[in-house]
Every structure is written in C-alpha cells, then in structure tokens.
Structure 1
C-alpha cells in the first residue's frame, strides 16, 4: 500500500472512532440519564404509595407515657402522603443519626429503618455515629455532625443532662431534632425538638411479668436486675414489671434487686443475686444484653431450672427462647418501625406539620410459640439460620 493511501485509511479510522464515541456520549443518547419516570438515573424511583409504619403491628393500647408525662400517640397513625414525599424530595435534605451505642440488634434495626425510610424520602444520610455509651463522645460526635450542617438529626441521648447543651445547639442551628426513647433535660417539644419516639416500654414490662408468672405457675421467689441510671424508658419497664407482679400474682415474691450501670454488668450482678438467694425460682433483666450475662451466671451456677424474662428480641436471647431454654420469653420492642416513625416525624417537621410530642410503637409478647414470626415482625427480615436451627417443637 502506498504511503498516501495509508494516511487516508488512518484518517478514516480515526474519524469513525470519533463518531462512535460521540454517538455513545450521554449528551447524544436520548435514553441516557433518564429512568422510566423521566428522572435522573441516579435518583430513587418515584414513590407511588404513602410511607407508614407496618400496619400489621399489634393493635394494642399504648401504656407508656413520654419523658414529661405526655400521653402517647400510636406510631401506626403516622403517614406521609405521596404528595408530601414529593415535596420533601424537592428540598434535597440531609440527615444524621447519633446513637448511644450501635453494637446490638436493636440499634442496627433502628438505623436500618431510618436509612430505608430516608431513602424513600430522598433524604441523604451524611453521618451515623456510635457514642459507645460515653456522653462526652456523643457530644463530640454531634459537634462533628453539626459542622456538616444537616437538616435533620435523629438521636438517642446517652445522658439526659450532660448532652443537653449540644442538642440545644443543634436546635439553635435550625436542625430538626427527633429523639429515640428519651429527651435531654430542659429541652421542649415543639421548640427544641420535634418529638420523642419509643417502644411501649411500660407495656413490654407488663408482658415480661405475665410470661414469667405463667412459666412459674403463679408462685415462687424472683429477683429483678434493673438499670441504675436516670433513663426513663428502662425505669418504665421495671416499674411495670414489678407493679404487675405485685397486683396480679400474690404468691410470687420479689425477694431481691440488683442494679447495673452498664450492659456488661449482667453476669456479675446476677451471680451475686444467685449467691445471696439460693432458692430463686425466676429473674427479670431489664434488657437483652445484660440478660445474656445473667444467663451465663445462671448456667455457671447450675441453676438451669430457673426461669428468666427480659425486654428486646436480640439474637442470643431469641436462640435461648427458640430452644425452650432458661429465657422463656420477653416483651419486644419494634426498632425498625420505630426508625420509620422517626423519619416520618422528621418529614412532618420540615413540612411544617404539627407533630405529637411523644409517639410509641406497640408492645409485643414473645415466647417459644411465636418467636420465629416475631423475629420477622421486629426486624423485617428472615429468621437467621442460628435461630431456626435452635428451634425445638
């Protein structure tokens, strides 16, 4: 081939490549960057139905009151309409989540419920923090969050007093603050924060009492492990449990109580109670993680006949219930739906809608009979194989 012919062929090849590149560029592709709804491909699909909490949750009266004695509004009554969701999306909002502790099933489900719901609302989650039960770390976490200038903050305070000033700072910055379970001291609903959302902790304490009494056939000696902290939701659980036993089961006696300052003290406190009370028939522990420690103490003491109940359907206590073990049942929170409710209330706030100061999801009774179905309801996911394998008919 002659030199001139080669040059022409080379030029033609280059031109063809350029034409191909141009024809595939986003600006010349009539379908590129658009989904079936005509929006950008990176945007979430259009919402075609309202956002609510799971309407299959138990239809129960909410027995808990808020941190200032507020009557509860059921989370099942909350709703964002399709038009309201569209309005929120147009605002291009950001949100942050500040947890007291993120290392358990309850926290994981709360965060998932929030993230899933914010995604439907077109709200970007810019931070999720774990204070590891340290109030000073939570204050630092929130100060870092506020530097990002989020529109929404959802949080559970480690301590109602020492964290109050940083939440006040968030409110003054214009952030819409929604609390899980507890409100810091001195802050006002409707002014400094949107609302408090919790489980029906009083109702769950009642459920745990009835289960324990049933398994003891209405008689025996029991001990209570309570949360030795100024945290109103855990106080409600213990108050409800002890009052239910006292008023309904005259042949069951609470012979001893032991307090935990943090969740890692369950085994130590339970061991001391067992040593002091060799004739215990049952035990109530304020939530599932210290109950796991108490369970270890009971087994170490060779007291496998003892009956326990608690609050929160964590993996390890679910396994124990599934195999008909020492933990016979519990009152379960519904953390995923609690997260959904918190996100909806944040939506109310940015739209300027009136928000109730205290919202709660119903209590859920969990025993061996319904533990598998309860798991699906609580976590919105299939039952882990570890729980299914442990299950005994």
Structure 2
C-alpha cells in the first residue's frame, strides 16, 4: 500500500510534537511528574543502604518482555540501594492468585512492595492489608480502588499510555495512507492503562484521520491473549476481506494478529500496537506486518519505582503520579529503540534479520 505524502507529513509532524511529552493523566486525574522527581542524593542513598531494607515485587503477569524489563529495572535499582528483593510473584492475570500472592508476601514482612494490580476492586483488600501492616506500596500503572496517594501508597509510575495510543494511531494512519478499514482489539478489563491506549487511538483516528474507519472492535480478556487476539483477528479478516489494518492493545495480542494475517495470506495487513516485545520487534526489523508501535520504557520505570520506594523509607513525599514519555518505534528505528527501552544492544537475531 502506497503512503500518502500529505498523511505522512501530518503524522510525522504529530509524532515530533509529542516527543518527550506526556499526554496521560494519572488514575485520579493527576498531572504527571517526571522521573527526576524520584532522584536521591548520595547522602540519601547511603542512609537507605544502612537500613538493610527488603522489598517484594508482585506482578500481574510475567514472562513477557515488558514484565521482564520492569523486574530487571527494579532489581538493578534495589541492588544499587542495598535493598534485598525477598519475593517476585506472577499472578498470570488472575486477581484471586494475586490476592494469595500478596497474603504470602505480607508474611515475609518486606519494607516495600512494588506491584501492579490485576483488578483494582478485587485486589484492594489485600493491598489495604499490606498498607495497614506498615509496608510502603509503590504501584506500576494501576492503583487499587479506595486507596489514596501519600496516605495508603507512595506513588504510581506509568508509561504515557494515552500517548502510546496516540503514537500508534499516527503510525498506523501513516502506513495506511490515512484511509481504509481498520479493526481494533482492546483489553476487556477494568485496567486503567490499557483503557488509556484504546482512548488515545480512537480519539486520534476520529479527529485526525476521518477517512480511516474502525469497522469492528473486539475485546479480549485473556489469559491467552495471543490466542484470543488471533481468533478475533481471524473473524475480522473473514468478515471484512478489505480490512487494511488492525490495532492491538499490546505486543502479545499483536502476535496473535500476525498469526491470523499469515494464516489468511494477508502479508499486506498493517498492524500497530504498544510495547517493544521481541516478536513484534523481529516483524518490524523484517519490515513485515507490523507498521509501528508506541513503546513504554519498562526498565526505566522499574528503576524509578525502586528510587521512590527508597525515598518513602526515608520519609520523603513523592508526587502521586510519575509518567515516562512514549517512544515511537518504526522499522528504521527498531534497533536503536531496543537499546533505549532495555538498556542493552538489540539481540543478535534481531540485528541479523534487519532489512536494510
């Protein structure tokens, strides 16, 4: 599909305008602070190191590149602060499992828990129990219902998820020349940050690219996000043979969309998503199927969360909401983006398949 020079220019200008900016508000409408707000002086670091503090990491689900990078950033951040990580858990996106994980972790009496709630309502009681036990809570992305920053928890650290939705919308529009039919696969859950992405995408397409029509939106609830997305994409491609593109809410569902496109012989389909996972990065490097994505900075988020936790142990007050800007990633920028996101060079197999 040929790109429209006018649309390309419009998309490029829009992407340049949001570079380094945060478009999201926090879970309670808070204005975003930058990661610099979590910085510690050398004297503060020395005080934290002398405490012999402990921390636990309670994930919503693990094993994907985003979660691995968050945990890696947290562990590196805590190691530099002399804080020992005594538990790392994976709830496989099941609220009851996460509640059980939290109850087990609380018995270890860590000074800090860094966590991302799978469900803000179902897990709230367990987090309140942790707070009541005097454990400092730092959240990623999502906060439990009925809890207040500065009182019940330290802060929430997030990517600019609304901005990521905006970025992926512009990249998809550019790849499609600003016109055609699009399918959307969103996260069907009470999950603040994935809702933000979906909102950012829809608003941008409707306001900036009126000739791009969302003909079908389908929610997936997991835990088999790739499989659910593949089934949704298969149905969309069957129902709309002229479908030009599909947006998926993060990289794992996008892998399911890629599988559906290949099975349907639709090598021309344009896919946009969020999160620079390995498989979507390989597709970008090959210049196949994935047109572009908005990347989070999970390693940097993890380091920031560790610093916020340390500051809380010293009695410092943190901003209620800290966000890191979205990173637009295209075929041309994928190798450099990998280094920015994960703080290591792109793996050899990714570099090897890069289409020059």
TM-score interval, smaller chain: over 0.9
Structure number with higher relative contact order (C-alpha < 8 Å, ≥ 6 residues apart):
2
TM-score computed with the length of structure 2 as normaliser: 0.93
**Does structure 1 residue 62 correspond to structure 2 residue 22?**
yes
**Which position in structure 1 is the counterpart of 2:67?**
107
Match of 1:147 among 91, 103, 107: 107
Q: Deviations over 1:264-300 (max 9, x none)?
A: 4110111111111111011100000011011100111
In our comparison, the structure showing a higher alpha carbon Rg is: 1
Relative to the length of structure 1, the TM-score reads 0.84
Q: Does 1:210 align with 2:153?
A: no
Aligned to 2:136: 176
Partner residue, 2:31 = 71
The residue aligned with 2:304 is 341
Conserved in 2, the CA contact under 8 Å of 1:76 and 1:361? no
User: Among residues 231, 236, 261, which one is paired with 1:298 in the alignment?
Assistant: 261
* CA distance in 2 between partners of 1:296 and 1:149 (Å): 44
Distance in 2 between the 1:235 and 1:147 partners?
33
Give the corresponding residue for 2:191.
231
1:125 to 85, 94, 117: 85
Q: What is the match of residue 54 of structure 1?
A: none
Residues 195 and 345, structure 1, Cα contact 8 Å, conserved in 2: yes
**Aligned pair 1:247/2:207, yes or no?**
yes
1:95 pairs with 2:55: yes
On the 8 A contact 1:309/1:330 being kept in 2, the answer is yes
SS at match of 2:120: coil
Counterpart-to-counterpart distance in 2, 1:261 and 1:126: 31
Pairwise CA RMSD of aligned residues? Answer: 1.0
- The CA deviation string for residues 53-106 of structure 1, in whole angstroms up to 9 with x for no partner, is xxxxx9622111111111111114431111100011111100000001111000
Which position in structure 2 is the counterpart of 1:50?
none
**What is the aligned partner in structure 2 of residue 136 from structure 1?**
96
Please name the residue that 1:327 is paired with: 290
Q: Which residue pairs with 1:382 in the alignment?
A: 345
The runs of at least 4 aligned residues of structure 1 exceeding 2 Å deviation read: none
Equivalenced residues, count: 336
Distance in 2, matches of 1:178 and 1:128, equals 14
Instruction: Say whether the 8 Å CA contact 2:247–2:273 is kept in structure 1.
Output: yes
SS in 1 for 2:181: strand
Whether 1:190 and 2:153 are equivalent positions in the alignment is no
Q: Give unpaired runs (5+ residues) of structure 2.
A: 1-17
Deviations 1:241-275 (A, max 9, x none): 11101111121111111110112411011111111
Write the distance in 2 (CA, Å) between the matches of 1:388 and 1:288: 19
Q: Give yes or no for contact 2:38–2:318 (8 Å, CA) kept in 1.
A: no
Query: How far, CA to CA, are the matches of 1:347 and 1:341 in structure 2?
Result: 10
The match for 2:14 is: none
Where does structure 1 lack aligned partners over 5 or more consecutive residues? 1-57
Deviations 1:212-255 (A, max 9, x none): 11111111111111111111100000110111011111211111
1:33-72 maps to which residues of 2 (within 5 A)? 60-72=20-32
CA distance in 1, matches of 2:195, 2:232: 18
